[in-house]
Amino acid sequence: MSRLIVVSNRVPVPEKGKAAPAGGLAVALQAALKERGGIWMGWSGKSSGEEETPQIKTIIDGKITYALTDLTDRDVEEYYHGFANRVLWPTFHYRIDLAEYGRKEMSGYFRVNRFFAQRLAPLLKPDDVIWVQDYHLIPLASELRKMGIKNRIGFFLHIPLPPADVLLAMPVYDQIIEGLAQYDLVGFQTDYDLANFVGALVREGIGETLEDGYFKSHNRIFKTGAYPISIETAAFAAYAKRAVNNAMVKKAASSIIGHDLVIGVDRLDYSKGIPQRLDAYERFILANPAYQGNVSYLQVTPKSRSEVPEYEAMQRQLAEQAGRVNGELGTVDWVPIRYMTRSVARPILAGLYRLAKVGLVTPMRDGMNLVAKEYIAAQDPDDPGVLILSRFAGAARELKSALLVNPYDTEGVANAIARALSMPLEERKERWQKMMDHLLVHDVTEWCNNFMDDLTHVPQEGDHAALL
Ligand code: GDG
């Protein structure tokens, strides 16, 4: 079995004496690395401060080597905050209005990808299989190919891939597409993202569909596919069941006696639709006065990317919005919105999901959204809650028994909250069971295995030249 090399922007290095890292992706990839042996390479998250080129530091844990590099301040500014988070993230989430194109940031992005390739190449053996994660590293294969690397290289995009007119608004779209064409397997979250990719290339006359998911573009043949990411369903369900005994979760439970709990959990990000969701909740309370004093909405929103101005502004706006709603609707003994910007420990989060009668997951656009899947896995089978899910989350392609909503339709979301809170037990059980059955089969291990199976079976660089 060939060695696996995972490359991602950040690397979840296990910390001594601490529990395994949270999050299904880290768990699944670490399991695959442990089985095959391999390397997980990426940015340490630290800045070397200087212009001097940082070196790789390795941490060995059994069969896994974590290879980390610092970046210079300029790299972090241009590659990470600049191009990745202010061009690719908004554009791929259909927000071209928020994209800030700058030549300096664009060239910083390609420069850091070249740097990653230079650091990675000496670590590679000829039959290693390389799996690159996400939008930060699209040009990595192209840089490795320029250095003569012929290994199988796969790429998985965790965020959406927008349709042609949105994608083409990005000045360097052609280099980004060409970068994707240098992989042997390009995986997307959903069939919609895949269709957008194929549609854009065919429309622009730069790609051609072949059989079995193969695609031809930029003088290369590569496989494409939809690989919906998931969670460790069974483990998370067991975790949530145990979590209700956690002291903090018990405290939370006693604070909502006589109330129905509605929960929202999202990294602070404009793609997650949090202000729109607060509006919908406010409208729900105003339209259903009987719920005043009888429902609590807990929104957990850990801060992220505060260095990017849009995020910093949003942090302030949300605090103001939650404060305004609480001020206008709250009473001496009832707070309509409990708004937290601190991160909650994973066992507590699992317990809170289980306590909540309604999971509100209403992104304006989301690659998948794992919160939706975690909420389902955490429910009590005898008394499950209701998932309200945006049709613009990748998860909506699978979780069709959720109450699917359009997050732009405030009234529609408000009505869905009312419907969820009054849904009869039988209907809740039926909807939940269908989604849980699906997630038990389609878990993160399946995601990882499906991608790896396809990647290890695609023709290696050089072999498909004959097909061109
Ligand atoms: C990207 C794509 C895609 C959140 N708050 C806390 C906390 N979380 C955890 C959740 C969940 C994770 O963070 C968030 O995952 P999502 O999938 O919802 O969203 P992104 O971070 O935007 O991830 C997304 C994903 O990649 C995977 O491909 O699904 O579409 O945007 O696991 O539980 N965890 C803890 N405390 C918190 O306060 N412990």
Range(s) within the chain of domains with CATH label 3.40.50.2000: 4-230+446-457, 233-441
Ligand 1 atom closest to Cα of residue 158: 28
CA of 388 to the centre of ligand 1 (A): 17
ipTM summary value: 0.99
CA of 228 to the centre of ligand 1 (A): 14
Task: Determine which residue's CA is closest to atom 39 belonging to ligand 1.
Answer: 346
Q: Is the pLDDT of residue 311 over 70?
A: yes
d(CA 227, CA 214): 15
Strand order in the sheet with 403-405: 337-340, 295-300, 260-265, 358-361, 386-390, 403-405
179 lines ligand 1 (CB under 6 A): no
DSSP, collapsed to helix, strand or coil, labels residue 94 as coil
**Model confidence pLDDT, tens digit, residues 451-464:** 999 999 998 876 66
Strand order in the sheet with 185-188: 56-61, 64-71, 38-47, 4-10, 129-133, 152-156, 185-188, 220-226, 214-217, 207-209
**Model confidence pLDDT, tens digit, residues 169-219:** 999 999 999 999 999 999 999 999 999 999 999 999 999 999 999 999 999
Active site residues per annotation: 158, 366
Task: Determine which residue's CA is closest to atom 21 belonging to ligand 1.
Answer: 267
Range in 158-162, 256-260, 430-434, 437-441 with the lowest mean pLDDT: 256-260
Tell me 52's DSSP state: S
Q: How confident is the model at residue 27 (pLDDT cuts 50, 70, 90)?
A: confident
371 lines ligand 1 (CB under 6 A): yes
Name 72's Cβ contacts closer than 8 Å, sequence gap at least 6. 47, 48, 49, 50, 51, 52, 53, 54
Ligand 1 atom closest to Cα of residue 346: 39
CA of 309 to the centre of ligand 1 (A): 21
Ligand 1 atom closest to Cα of residue 23: 32
CA of 150 to the centre of ligand 1 (A): 34
CB of 228 closer than 8 Å to CB of 240: no
Highest CATH level, class, for 4-230+446-457: alpha beta
Q: Is the pLDDT of residue 22 over 60?
A: no
390 lines ligand 1 (CB under 6 A): no
Task: Determine which residue's CA is closest to atom 26 belonging to ligand 1.
Answer: 158
CB of 130 closer than 8 Å to CB of 143: no
d(CA 57, CA 13): 12
Q: Which CATH number fits domain 233-441: 3.30.420.10, 1.20.140.10, 3.40.50.2000, 2.60.40.290?
A: 3.40.50.2000
So what's the pLDDT on residue 309? 80
Report the 10 Å Cβ neighbour count for 60.
10
Q: Which of 269, 305, 369 to mutate to test the pocket of ligand 1 (most atoms within 8 A of CB)?
A: 369
Task: Determine which residue's CA is closest to atom 15 belonging to ligand 1.
Answer: 370
344 lines ligand 1 (CB under 6 A): yes
**Dihedral, CA of residue 64, residue 70, residue 71 and residue 72, to nearest 10:** -170
368 lines ligand 1 (CB under 6 A): yes
22 lines ligand 1 (CB under 6 A): yes
Ligand 1 atom closest to Cα of residue 374: 33
Q: What average pLDDT does this structure show over 41-54? A: 82
Q: Which of 360, 368, 390 to mutate to test the pocket of ligand 1 (most atoms within 8 A of CB)?
A: 368
